[in-house]
Amino acid sequence: MKLQKIFLSIAALVLVVGAVVSSGQFGLNWPRLPQLSIPQTVTIPGGEKVRVVTEESIVIDVVDNVSPAVVTVGITQTRRIGDMLEFNPFDPFSPFQRRPGKSQKIEQDIGSGFIVEGGLVVTNKHVVSVSDATYRVITKDDKTYEVKKIYRDPSNDLAILKIESNGLPTVEMGDSDKIKVGQMAIAIGTALGEFRHTVTTGVISGVGRGIEAGSPFEGSAERLDNVIQTDAAINPGNSGGPLLNSSGQVVGVNTAVSSEGQNIGFALPINVVKEALTNFNATGQFNRPYLGVRYQMIPKQTAILNDIPEGAYLAEVVEGSPADKAGLEVEDIITKFDGQKLSDENDLAKAISKKKVGDTVSLTVWRDEKEIEINVTLGNQDGQ
């Protein structure tokens, strides 16, 4: 028992002495460990100073610089609610009658966009797909602008909104042909049509993808090729917003998210937008080469099994279209486009997109078990 008291006394004495010494009463101080810090600049051979940045500071700088040019797209439409089906037993010919409900004006944020130049906002076509609705654009500082005109691209999921305003901040567009898998990606948009200017980060996960894109609000969908895949979270409502690189340049237009996986989003390459803007500024519309057919590609395996050539099977020829005027018919199979063989990798739409309005192309067509040559002058599909 005495031994235990001695140990306790010694321990108490050590604590007291340690406290007095550490307080500096006798001029003694324990050496302090140096604080670690990341240098703001470093000097490289040659004497040049280079700024050192972290990933966090990169994202903050990009968001601060680009967010003022990112907008929310809202819709205003009238819907009838409360319709009721009534039963009238005294009317044997029409016992069920519908009593109309009340009309209600509904306003909702449905997508995103970004300002490219004076009064022009880029977004997705499926965001503004309702023709009898009115749309508005809301900037980061909560100013609202009525959309005066909508130009829809018939070949891509793109639209340009015209608003009456000058002097608004604009984005800088990069070069989507130079992006690399693994580089940083930053997305900004109105997530779920509710949370404006939501920022998510990730990397470029893949390029040259093919997807079915559509709107969760309107139920529309279309096939898009050569899109960018990213793991930066893209949610419904992000559609039309910018996908940015670490320099704050727009490299894509956020378009779709996979419903079958996690962290799989897609964006249209910005070079497609730049080309569309060039056409738009020159003509006031989207000039796209137009053939005027609805088709289905016949893959190689199907062609072999059915003893028919590989190519584009025409299910419909639009009346009055360039295809109709040139003599193309339903059930024709276009096997070559200007001498290039058509396949799943080089389908008819991709071949047409490489041409210009007014170009005359030679089509090799399989009809009645023999090949014929037909020349077609491509028209213009007005995107307004």
| Dihedral over alpha carbons 245, 248, 250, 252 (to 10 degrees) | 30
> Does 157 qualify as catalytic in the annotation?
yes
Alpha-carbon distance 86 to 297, whole Å?
49
> Which residue has 């508005």 as its token pair?
136
Question: Which regions of 272-359 does DSSP assign to beta strands (E)?
Answer: 289-290, 293-298, 311-317, 333-337, 340-341
The SS3 of residue 141 is coil
Could you say which of 126, 129, 176, 332 is catalytic? Answer: 126
Q: Which of 109, 157, 332, 347 is catalytic?
A: 157
Residue 205 main-chain phi, psi, to 5 deg:
-90, -25
- φ, ψ dihedrals at 306, nearest 5°: -105, 5
Q: How far apart are the first and last CA of the chain?
A: 98
Q: Which of 239, 321, 332, 347 is catalytic?
A: 239
Decide if 126 is catalytic.
yes
The alpha carbon of residue 15 and the mean position of all alpha carbons in its chain are separated, in whole angstroms, by 65
What is the spatial distance between Cα 333 and Cα 87, in angstroms, rounded to a whole number?
A: 54
What residues contact residue 282 under an 8 Å CB cut-off, 6+ apart?
Answer: none
**Which DSSP category does 69 fall into?**
G
- From residue 180, alpha-carbon distances to 13, 18, 62, 255 in Å are 65, 58, 19, 19
Which of the residues are catalytic?
126, 157, 239
